[in-house]
Chain A
Amino acid sequence: MRKVNQKAWFFVLPVLILVAFNALVPMMTVVNYSVQETFGNNQFFWHGLGWFQDILRSERFHAALGRQFLFTFLILIIEVPLGVIIALSMPRKGFWVPVCLVTMALPMLIPWNVVGAMWNIFTLPDIGLLGYFMNHVLGIDYNMTRSPLAAWVTIITMDVWHWTSLVVLLCYAGLVSIPDAYYQAAKIDGASNWAVFRYIQLPKMKQVLTIAVLLRFMDSFNIYTEPFVLTGGGPGNSTTLLSIDLVKIALGQFDLGPAAAMSLIYFAITLFVSWLFYTLMTRHDVK
């Protein structure tokens, strides 16, 4: 057992100060905005919970939230199983392991707007590799600036490209921690490949999968830069995800009150769903 030692707070203090400074001060500012109305000139008036009511009733918010949930849902059901499958089929030792790890981690190390720009270049209808291939080789009309479906397929594909490796690396880490003896015992017990996956690999990956799902949920729910650079939220509002809408309101229209209220609701949803995932996925451990 760890020792009780209140002096440990001194060790945590620098972290606490830095994070609190960055988290609490802006958060207070947001809370402050969210309950006030302004008509410019730095004059603020108490507005109570009015903005919150407005936001929660606004169709625009509902639409953005709906798109956001759809996006995150698609991301999770594609990236998590895909990541598991890739991790399962990766080599466990030898020369190819570092090669796989490095190439797979590469997309995660590219600045997010470069990711957007890269996919923009990649999908340009006549001069991008994918755009050219779709339009001129397969003969499918593919143009993100005109078709909402094409835009959606592209931002989903881009996110799969960008972040599936996170799931792969996490699962892979879980898999390599399984001692050989488990596979040998399963072989002796006559277990099928499915049984090995179900009773050995999956339980061992459970912890890392929890992390993977949580991280992917949080990050995809908060995604801003990549789709913004790629589609700008269009065509129309079809790919205007929650944070894109938020920035539009806050910086584009400078409606600080509604933007702040929306931020808080947004944050609350993220927290709540994360907590929900966390509780659901770890429930079985507590007996």
Chain B
Amino acid sequence: MAKITLDRLRHSYMSDPKGPQDYALKELDLDWQDGGAYALLGPSGCGKSTLLNIISGLLHPSEGRILFDGKDVTGLPPDQRNIAQVFQFPVIYDTMSVYDNLAFPLRNRGVDEGRVKARVEEIAAMLDVTEMLGTRAAHLSPDNKQKISMGRGLVRDDVNVIMFDEPLTVIDPHLKWKLRSKLKELHQKVKVTMIYVTHDQTEALTFADQVVVMQEGEVVQIGTPVDLFERPAHTFVGHFIGSPGMNVLPAELRDGAAFFAGQQIALEGAVAPGAGRHEIGVRPEYVTLGPSGIAAKVRKVMDLGRHSVVEAVAGDTKVSAIVEGAAPGQGESVHLTFRPDQTRLYRDGWIATKQERAA
């Protein structure tokens, strides 16, 4: 087990990158604490798999270093890094039994059979696969195959980190949450650092203590699930997490005050000075419909049972609001108000307001 440090890491798949746009992974400085449960969240092609492969050693970064507990491992091949990886599609050795599959990483390292047996049985019990040990791995269902490939990582007690590359892709929906809670449970039991790569916000937010959100090769925010939801550092995070995502509204900044649709909007705090493209971000949860506020017309109402999502149009801009109880009908005129402590200004995508402490 180890703390993982990424030191000014950059990677490009091109041999001669010209500018930032040629990098699949832009410069990255990051610490993963020992024993943490991390999720790496982002849309397809954001560079999260690249990052994962760099940590596991399958890919050599163009620039920068990777340190495990302060020791430089950038040049080491995967088998010497003591890591484990679970892939999108279950990788198991078809011709071996489940037992031999689990024993494989130990036997490759010359561990004696007595110890192998003890470890395999311990891990099998942990994964609830004890009764399958004798069967051929080829006959297992996809979720059990994923468990076995996970087990091959866990079976080594010297493993530094276990990485999951969208491991639930091929699992039936009703088994997904079961496997996910198993993962969570395992993490609490063995306390190994785990990094979970996914594009699914639910998976990321339920699994991880810390979520790293990536976009276009760049880390946009690192934080607890609550942080990401409550105070997105970037409009992308606000938009990507939450359902529906945060409202991002074009805004004007005049003398430190923000205006949307001609009206001044109260923000959570003071705006940092500067210039750029300004946007106001507010989650639909904090938009209320009332007698006064910004005039808008209801375009669509979605009844989700306990609450409704109201999609209104103010000027040309779409604003979503979550309404408990009776919702207005389509075409009605409404007035919108934003809860000030949850309303922020973003400049060129990045947060530009300071939260007032002790609000």
Contact = CB atoms under 8 A, between A and B. Distances in A.
Partners in one complex: yes
Interface of A: 179, 181-182, 184-185, 187-192, 195, 199-200, 203, 287
Chain B, interface SS category: mixed
A182 B104 CA distance: 14
A79 B105 CA distance: 34
A199 to B, nearest CB: 5
Contacts of B149: 185
Nearest to B104: A189
B152 interface: yes
A188 B85 contact: yes
Interface string B52-71: 01001010000000000000
A189 B87 contact: no
B174 interface: no
Given A181-B88, A185-B85, A190 B105 contact: yes
A287 B105 CA distance: 26
Contact of A184 (B58, B93, B108, B109): B58
A200 B89 CA distance: 15
B263 interface: no
Contacts of A184: 53, 56, 58, 78, 85, 87, 91
30 contacts: A179-B91, A181-B88, A181-B91, A184-B53, A184-B56, A184-B85, A185-B85, A185-B87, A185-B91, A185-B149, A187-B58, A187-B77, A188-B56, A188-B84, A188-B85, A188-B105, A188-B153, A189-B79, A189-B105, A189-B108, A190-B79, A190-B105, A190-B109, A191-B104, A195-B108, A199-B104, A200-B93, A203-B93, A203-B94, A287-B136
Given A185-B87, A189-B104, 19 more contacts: A179-B89, A181-B89, A181-B91, A184-B56, A184-B58, A184-B85, A184-B91, A185-B91, A185-B149, A188-B79, A188-B83, A188-B84, A188-B105, A190-B108, A191-B108, A195-B108, A199-B104, A200-B93, A203-B93
Given A184-B58, A189-B104, A189-B108, A203 B89 contact: no
Contacts, number: 55
Could you say which interface size class chain B belongs to?
20 to 34
B307 interface: no
A182 B87 CA distance: 9
Interface string B178-215: 00000000000000000000000000000000000000
B354 interface: no
B58 A199 contact: no
B237 to A, nearest CB: 29
B171 to A, nearest CB: 16
A195 to B, nearest CB: 7
